[in-house]
Copies of this chain bind each other. A is one copy, B any other.
Amino acid sequence: MSPSRTFLDAGGSAPLTQRTRDALVAGFAEGWADPDRVSSEARRARSLVDGSREAMADALGARTEDVHFTSSGVAGLERVIAGVWTARRGREEVVVSAVERDATVHAAQFVAGRAPREIRVDALGHIDRDDLAVALDDPAVALAAIQHANHELGTVQDLAAIHELTAARGVPLVVDATSSIGHIASPESWDALAANPADWGGPSGIGVIALRPGTRWLPAWPEGDDWAPGGVSVPLVLAATVALQERLENADSEATRLADLIDVVRARMRAVPGIDVVGDPERRLPHVVTFSCLYVDGEALLSRLDREGFAVGSGSACTTSSLEPSRVLAAVGALTHGNVRIALHPGITSDDVDRFVDAATRVIEDLRSEAGAPAIG
């Protein structure tokens, strides 16, 4: 990255640290063989996977034998939802929150053959537990798929309370931890879990699944697949684990530092007229914030910021193929257009954040003026 670039889109992908890159290089030198074969080279690859699995289990608070690698965070969500759903034969409905990732909603739709039941959330993005309790009372419910933290809002769900509701009804709780692990303490209340190494500074192309010992599942994929068709890349497994370990070493101090930086963004952007800063300001991911801007075109805002040297995202809504209104922002009743999602990685400094807020404020003002937007009172 050129020194003039400031990467503030580290949700789901982040520049790799030197230690993670070193792990990759070592992994490709030592772990290129197929770990399922019988040679010494295969055994060496297998031992790298085994060691990584143990370390990953430790970080997730799971048993080593209950942790599995797959080909991406999304693949993990899909497989764990499909596997748990299939073991609940006769029950078909999937319950999700209104702010789940598209991947969760699509996986539920695919496996059940119909849209999942969406539980409403409050203005901060917390799931409505009364609504959830009513939904879970339906005997047709196969599983609930609820996120630990929201990738756009930053809001962290109260999983302990949610798990109490699901467990009381014998409904398995699949937790999407693809935005939280490596940023806040791993969740404890879940029956199955999916995580995304690319979100914590690991490589893309690898996902993590964990199951509790009592969680039943059945394969919902071709024989021989295990959790990943054709197995996973050993070097990616190794690098994903090293990246998580590095993040966890400094987790507490780094979370405090990033949370303070996000507080600055929240406060300064809220001071700009017509800006909606979303999500729970307290119970949130330390490194994420989204704000929406009245009378501003989202794509123009992102492009202009990019040209000024700031890479920012726009949550689930912002990909090259779909600059659609954000489902998540709609669910919390916020402005669904002109939104910017900031996700900080450990290389970001206070100075970067100050420069960003200055630039964003100026760009928003320019865009409004160019569009002839009315004055905001």
Contacts and interface: CB of A to CB of B under 8 A. Distances in A.
Contact of A106 (B107, B222, B228, B319): B222
B1 A41 contact: yes
Given A71-B205, A78-B222, A36 B319 contact: yes
A37 B234 contact: no
A41 B72 contact: no
Interface string A218-249: 00011111001111111110000000000000
A187 interface: no
A25 interface: yes
A342 interface: no
Contacts of A223: 102, 106, 109-110
A21 interface: yes
A296 B204 CA distance: 44
A224 B106 contact: yes
B13 A72 contact: no
**Interface residues on chain A, size class:** 35 or more
A78 B220 CA distance: 13
A228 B73 CA distance: 11
Contact of A311 (B40, B204, B205): B40
A375 B299 CA distance: 79
Interface string A315-329: 000111100000000
Assembly stoichiometry (copies): 2
Contacts of A78: 221-222, 225, 229
Interface string A182-217: 000000000000001010000111110000000000
A93 interface: no
Contact of A320 (B5, B37, B71, B198): B37
Interface stretch (A26-34, A136-144, A155-163, A279-287): A26-34
Contacts of A224: 74, 102-103, 106
Given A38-B313, A106-B224, 9 more contacts: A7-B39, A24-B24, A28-B203, A32-B204, A36-B320, A38-B320, A39-B313, A71-B71, A73-B230
27 contacts: A5-B41, A9-B41, A9-B42, A12-B34, A15-B32, A16-B28, A16-B32, A21-B25, A36-B320, A37-B320, A38-B318, A38-B319, A71-B75, A71-B230, A72-B229, A72-B230, A74-B231, A75-B230, A78-B221, A78-B225, A106-B223, A109-B223, A196-B230, A203-B233, A204-B231, A205-B232, A205-B236
